[in-house]
Amino acid sequence: MTSPITESIVAEQLWFTAPQDVDVRTAVINKPAEGQVSVRTLCSAVSAGTEMLVYRGQIPAQMALDATLDGLQSQLQYPLQYGYACVGEVIALGSDVDQAWLGRRVFSFQPHVSHFLADTGQLIPVPDDIEAEAAVFLANMETAVNLVHDGAPLLGECVVVLGQGIVGLLLTGVLANFPLKGLYTLDSFDQRRAMSLTLGATASIDPSIGQRELAQILSTQLGADLLYEVSGVPDALNTAISLSGFDSRIVIGSWYGSKSAVIALGGDAHRNRLKISTSQVSTLATSLSARWDKPRRFAVTWDMIRQLEPQQLITHRYALSEAALLYQRLDTHPDEVLQAVFVYQQ
């Protein structure tokens, strides 16, 4: 027995139509087909770092937005949809779908949209004890978990995180669980630095005025052991290099899009035998693949969401119809926003 199949639904969809321009359009969502479900979105999180690259037209034209997600495999060409953190409720089932899906809250890597169709394999059930506005952090929290796995911090190490956007803050919160010698973060925005301290950073520093002070602190440890670059600013790599010691590890979690910078890989960077690696959440490190898979990593991610309660990072809630105002604010006053979410009428 399946649920009654609803009639077609008129959904609201967010479209990036040109650099600095967004539009909310309507589209008819048909009844779910065999193996599909219909989902009503409850909320969706704005990934300010990546979405502002799309908003500003800074994605390389030849690059797929995300080759691992069904909805984001096309190359950058306006108009386009983007977003990957929707939490919703299953409201109708197609044929051959287990009745247990009806009414279930789910996470999906979907662009910002009020309703959508999906195969059940594209959905991740949200645990009953996790509220919707916490669940929207699943993708970014998984990124933070992946960064920790790729960096492999050790007991007593000195760790630096450059950038305290949402991924940086979540990474800081996870790292604060480790018995480190020190956990230092850098960001230009006061609100982010304050939250970084709340989440457990030893100190959070404005790089424009405190970088020399941090270098002096780290010099007693012969430089930082492990550094994460998650600021989205390519030149921050030079800061990471300057704070490194001999044989230090630098893990790059930022996606820079079409932005570039001159990186100082001569001098100390060369002599110090630095290990510079990139980290990307769509895959797992080969060193872990014998025992780890995506379901195991998601289980850890849900546990980190329970522990850190990332919904405390939400500072702004907007209706989808207010999207233009939100992106303008993120573009001109990024210091005012930690996490913004779209909320949808029920």
| b (16+ CB within 10 A) / e for 210-223 | beeebeebbeeeeb
| Amino acid in position 114 | S
- Under DSSP, the state recorded for 99 is G
Domains of the chain from N-terminus onward:
9-136+309-343 (3.90.180.10), 139-278 (3.40.50.720)
pLDDT for position 345? 81
Q: Could you identify the residue written with the tokens 């009503």?
A: 40
CA–CA dist 110, 44 (Å, integer): 9
Residue 14 neighbours by CB distance under 10 Å: 24
CA–CA dist 286, 120 (Å, integer): 28
pLDDT for position 2? 41
| Residues 325-338: tens digit of each pLDDT | 999 999 999 999 99
CA–CA dist 337, 330 (Å, integer): 7
Average pLDDT per run of 10 along the chain, which is 346 residues long? 62 96 96 95 94 89 56 69 96 95 97 96 97 98 98 97 97 97 96 98 93 85 94 92 94 87 85 93 92 96 98 97 97 96 90
pLDDT for position 3? 47
pTM: 0.91
pLDDT for position 221? 81
Give the H or E element holding residue 245. strand 244-252
Using only C-alpha atoms, the chain has a radius of gyration, in whole angstroms, of: 21
**Helix intervals (H) in the chain:** 48-55, 132-135, 138-151, 166-175, 190-198, 207-219, 236-243, 268-271, 294-308, 323-332
**Cβ-count burial of 76 within 10 angstroms (0-12 exposed, 13-18 middle, 19+ buried)?**
buried
